[in-house]
Each structure stands twice: as C-alpha cells, then as structure tokens.
Amino acid sequence: MRAPPRGRAQPAARRPAPPRLAAAPPPEIAARIILKTDAVLVLDKPAGLPVHAGPRGGASLEDWLPLLAFGKKRMPQPAHRLDTDTAGCLALGRTQPALAELGAIFAQHRARKTYWAVLRGTGPAEARGRIDLPLRKTSTAAAGWRMEPHSDGQPALTEWRVLGRGGGLCWVELRPRTGRTHQLRVHCAALGFPILGDPFYGTAAPGGLHLLARALSLPMTPPVEAEAAVPEAMAAAFRRAGAVLPGGGTGGE
C-alpha cells in the first residue's frame, strides 16, 4: 500500500451522527404525559412496567426515554423510583440542572407524595393514623426476597387516612414520609389489611395491585403539581370501596 505524499493534509475521519430523538412521542405514550415543562415531565406510569431494565431484559420505561425527548439532545431521566406493580405519577428531569434539583428534593423528603389504595377487609377502626415500623430486606432460596418489619431495619413512616369503605373493602390515602422498598405494601399488611391484589404480602386478585401514586407535589419554581387518574383495571374495586370516579358512581360496575 503506497504511503500518502508528505505535506498533504488527510481528511478527518467521519464521526457517526448522533441519533435523532423523536420530535414527539407516539399517541399511546403521549397520552401518559400528565404534565410537561421545559425542565420536568410527569408521567402516568402503567402498572407492570418497571422503571429500569432488569438483568433479564424485557420492556421498561427506559425504552420510552428516546421517545420523550421532544427533540432535545438529552433524554429525560427518572428522578425517583416507583415499584413495577404500582401505577401513577412518576417525575423525570429533562435537563441536568432539573435532574439535580429533583434528586435533592426527593433525597431531602421534600416531595409530597400521595397514594390511593384499596385494602382487603373493612380497614382499621380509626379514621386516620400513622405506621412507624422499620423495614429490612430478607431473602430465602425458596421464596426469594421480600421486605419485613424488624427492629434492626431502616426507619419507615407512613401516614394514612380512610376515604371510604364498602363491599368488604377499604379505600385509603397513604402518605409515605420515607421511601423504603415496598413500604406501603408491608405497612398496610402489618395493619392487618393488605392491599388488594398484592401477591407478595397478601393475595393476588383481578386488576393486579390496587395501589396508585395518585398525586405528586414538588417545591420547584414554578411548583409542580400532578395527579393521576385511577386505572380502569382498578376502578371497580375503588367504586366498591366508595370512590366516585368518572364513568360511573359508587358500587360495582
């Protein structure tokens, strides 16, 4: 192979063009956007979709991120976690400064998170209360991992309020003051009334886990306020427990 003549400039190697991000998400994903600002997206995450891809692969919210860029060079990133089986409000940062601000808000417990759940049974006798019960992770070869109440566990605090009762079910509002894995599920089970459809700490049921990240309030400038609707798969149970939802009154469908 002949060497190039001395003194002649060689053309620079071509760099691959960066991938073009979607200018707009497809309709089925766009319908999941509750709120969009230049800094933040809040999505209504469907139950059954993990936020992060697992070691075994499979669909996750990460597959959506390029479709949620709206033409920005940077893809949005989740600012906090939401269990795979939990539906509802999930915040994503659209810029690096926004993601850093969101990270600080969640780390300092300044985010106001409100959940709705349907519990099996009539629920606690009181109208409201708090559960202060430390949790730790445990694992066995037969059953896999789960969270359990334990005095050596991490502090976990949940405030709860009964919103309705009916049909052998109880509709509650839950406000976690800490963010432990499966905190709300374990705390409700510890009250003696597991969340309807919880296969880990109760019993599986049609409609899956009846736990909804109902609302999210973030002290940003301007403030972020978002609210997710009750998914159709959960609606019948919420109505039985006394919730009045669009498309029908109280009671079963």
- CATH classification of the domain holding 125: 3.30.2350.10
Whether 2 maps to a domain, the answer reads no
Whether 3 maps to a domain, the answer reads no
Give 246-249's long-range contacts (Cβ < 8 A, gap of 24+). Answer: none
Instruction: Determine the structural domain holding residue 219 and report its residue range.
Output: 27-51+59-240
pTM for the complete prediction?
Answer: 0.88
Q: Is residue 44 among the annotated active site residues?
A: no
- In the chain, the N- to C-terminal Cα span, in Å, equals 79
**240 by DSSP, 3-state: which?**
helix
Whether 250 maps to a domain, the answer reads no
Whether 94 maps to a domain, the answer reads yes
| pLDDT tens across the length of the chain (253 residues) | 555 555 555 555 566 555 567 678 889 999 999 999 999 999 999 999 999 988 777 899 999 999 999 988 899 999 999 999 999 999 999 999 999 999 999 999 999 999 999 999 999 999 999 999 999 999 887 778 889 999 999 999 999 999 999 999 999 999 999 999 999 999 999 999 999 999 999 999 999 999 999 999 999 999 999 999 999 999 999 999 999 998 654 443 3
Structural domain tally of the chain? 1
Choosing from 83, 85, 132, 152, the catalytic residue is 83
Whether 19 maps to a domain, the answer reads no
